[in-house]
Every structure is written in C-alpha cells, then in structure tokens.
C-alpha cells in the first residue's frame, strides 16, 4: 500500500505552505565539528543500514546531525519504516522531492561515556514482520539482547548517549505499481545524539509511560486494537473526547459557518502557535490543527452531525494542549475569530 504523504503519520493531513528539505553534505563543516566532538558518530554513519542505495551499498549524499537531551518521549519512540521488503513508499507533495519516492529505516544505538557502541537496535522491517509481535520502544535498547530477548538487568548506568538514526533512500518512480522504486537518486541520513539526562536513564524510564510519552498515530492505535493493548486503545477514547469538545465549542460554534459561507473550499487561521486548516473534499469536511510538534485531524461525513478523529501525530499531552488552546481562544477571545478566513491555498491529502 503506497503512502503519498511524507510518512504514514501524515494520513489525513492538509498543507498550506511548502516544506523545505535539508541539504547538508556529509563533509560539511558543521557535521565534521560534531563528529569530532562525538567520535562514535563516524562508526554509526558508516554502519550499513537499510535502505541502501541503488547498488545495495551504504553511500551517503546528505547528512544532518542534531544534539539534544533525552526525555521520556524518546524512550517510547518507535520506528516508522517504509518500503523495506514491502510496496509502501513516502513522498512529498511539494519541494525538490515532489517527483521522487522514498524508502525509510530507523534505528537506535546505545553508547557509553568512552564512545563505545554497546548496542544497536532496529525494528521489524515492515508490517508483515511486526505482525503478532509486541511493540518495540526505544528504551528496550537498554534491556534487549541481540536475539531480541530481554536482559535481567539493564544498561542504564553504562549508557551516556542514545543515538537515533533515520535513513532515507530516494528514487525516481518506475511507473510499475508492483515495484515503484526506479532509478536511485540519493541516500540521506538524519542523526540525533541524545545525551543522558541529569536524573539518569534509569529514573527517566521509571517516570515515562505510554499515556504521556508515546507518539500516537493511526498505525499505533490500530495495532493496539489487534494486540489487545488496553492502555493504548484507551488513549483513543481520550482523543475522541477532544474531538467532541472541539466540534461543540469551536467548529459548530461559528467556525463551520465561516468556512461554508466562504468563497473557497478551504479556510485557515492562526490561533497563537496553532494553525487551523479546513477543507472540503467530496462532501467531507476536514479540520486539521497543527503546530511545530504535533497535529490532529477531525472529519465530518456528509449529512452527519458528529465529527471523528481521522488522524494524529504527537503525544497525548501535546495533542491535548494543541486542541484546548484553540478551544479556549475561540471561546474566550471572540475577536480572534476574524483570524479564520476563506483560503483557496488550503489543500487536502
């Protein structure tokens, strides 16, 4: 199944502005400075990780490196692999990648204070390999053996850094839907070095949980149903409550009227740091709330009087803050309503 958005977390998204693609050569001054500061990066960057280039090798044309402090969201992060042994792909709606299709693999490394790589962990390459298996989270690199079993003790006290690696391979479309990856274009890598928090990885893990730190997406919630994971499925109910709250206090309380009476089939507005995009497609009214860290989309079927959650990307606290911020501004600051106006540039995915 193909994935026409930037990734599978983007299902149901809408777009207003063009996204910029990072361009940083592996030997760029900034990268070389960070590799000198963290010598273990040289080995990690050279590790052969899927997806490979057109010749099955690990050539690299683009590299970006970031440094951050580890937090609970990292510990409950999961990979979003695409196009590894299955016919799924990623793409961009705009920008220099618009005419390309991509494959993606994600990995995590545990490194000690001396720069020694203690453990490397990947995820099932695709949905078929993941079927029937329990979810794998990033914190498991501190506990898991090479064969996937769990250790009796952890590496909490030994690990100084957790390094997240995202690899993309971009191709020209082949035109064959059974194997869409045609001529190889380039292979990119994005690396984030997460330093040990002041409390240490042990205390960080003990305070982290799925309700606060798990990145939610449609795939995560659907998988939880099949896995009978009651903790995660209960989060879906909390998102439904946010949807109902938003529809009653905002969308059915003036926003829908502005949209329907507008000149175009799209409308948008900014409420603080949150952008609201509304568009109609085949009678379905779709509302997306987004900021720099998360997004959620609500949808209304033709003839229905109740919205539902179509897709999301973010943790529960992030999505709660995102939605409630718009609700509060719409209710408590009527003058902000004028920020929401008809807009022909809103497109629906």
pLDDT at 130: 86
Tokens 């599978």 correspond to 8
Report the SS3 class of residue 142.
Answer: helix
What φ, ψ does residue 225 adopt, rounded to 5°? Answer: -65, -45
Domain ranges of the chain: 8-208, 232-348
d(CA 51, CA 103): 6
Residues 60, 184: contact at Cβ < 8 Å? no
Q: Are strands 341-342 and 274-281 parallel, antiparallel or unpaired?
A: unpaired
Q: Which residues of 284-309 are buried (b: 16+ CB within 10 A; e: fewer)?
A: ebbbbbbbeebbbbbbbeeeeeebeb
- Cα–Cα distances (Å) from 226 to 124, 230, 309, in that order, read 17, 10, 19
- CA contacts within 13 A on the Cβ side of 327: 16
Q: Single out the residue of 63, 65, 27, 25 nearest to residue 161, CA to CA.
A: 65
pLDDT tens string 303-313: 999 999 999 99
The dihedral sign for the CA sequence 17, 309, 7, 196: positive
Q: Is the pLDDT of residue 270 over 50?
A: yes
pTM of the model: 0.84
pLDDT at 149: 64
Mean pLDDT of 326-349: 91
Tokens 């969201």 correspond to 73
What φ, ψ does residue 185 adopt, rounded to 5°? Answer: -105, -65
pLDDT tens string 196-235: 999 999 999 999 999 999 999 988 898 888 888 899 999 9
State the chain's maximal CA–CA distance in angstroms: 64
pLDDT tens string 232-255: 999 999 999 999 999 999 999 999
Record the tokens describing residue 31, joined without a space: 């990268």
More confident residue, 290 or 5: 290
pLDDT tens string 105-146: 999 999 999 999 999 999 999 988 988 888 889 999 998 766
């Amino acid at each position: 199944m193909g994935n026409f958005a930037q990734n599978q977390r983007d299902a149901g998204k809408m777009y207003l502005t063009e996204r910029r693609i990072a361009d940083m050569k592996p030997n760029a001054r900034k990268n070389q400075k960070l590799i000198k500061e963290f010598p273990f990066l040289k080995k990690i960057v050279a590790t052969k990780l899927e997806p490979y280039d057109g010749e099955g090798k690990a050539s690299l044309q683009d590299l970006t490196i970031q440094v951050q402090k580890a937090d609970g969201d990292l510990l409950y992060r999961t990979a979003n692999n695409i196009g590894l042994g299955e016919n799924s792909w990623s793409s961009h709606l705009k920008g220099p990648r618009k005419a390309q299709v991509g494959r993606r693999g994600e990995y995590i490394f545990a490194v000690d204070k001396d720069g020694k790589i203690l453990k490397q962990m990947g995820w099932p390459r695709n949905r078929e390999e993941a079927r029937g298996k329990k979810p794998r989270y990033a914190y498991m690199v501190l506990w898991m053996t090479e064969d996937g079993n769990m250790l009796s003790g952890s590496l909490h006290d030994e690990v100084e850094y957790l390094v997240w690696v995202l690899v993309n391979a971009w191709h020209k479309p082949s035109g064959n839907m059974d194997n869409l990856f045609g001529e190889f274009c380039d292979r990119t890598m994005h690396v984030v070095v997460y330093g040990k928090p002041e409390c240490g990885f042990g205390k960080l893990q003990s305070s982290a949980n799925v309700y606060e730190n798990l990145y939610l997406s449609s795939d995560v919630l659907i998988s939880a149903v099949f896995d009978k994971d009651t903790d995660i499925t209960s989060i879906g109910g909390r998102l439904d409550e946010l949807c109902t709250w938003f529809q009653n206090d905002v969308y059915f309380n003036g926003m829908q009227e502005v949209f329907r009476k507008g000149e175009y089939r799209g409308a948008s507005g900014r409420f603080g740091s949150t952008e609201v995009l509304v568009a109609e497609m085949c009678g379905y009214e779709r509302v997306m709330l987004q900021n720099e860290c998360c997004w959620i989309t609500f949808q209304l079927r033709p003839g229905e009087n109740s919205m539902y959650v179509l897709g999301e990307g973010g943790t529960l606290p992030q999505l709660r803050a995102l939605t409630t911020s718009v609700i509060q501004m719409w209710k408590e600051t009527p003058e902000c309503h004028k920020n929401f106006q008809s807009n022909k540039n809103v497109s629906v995915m």
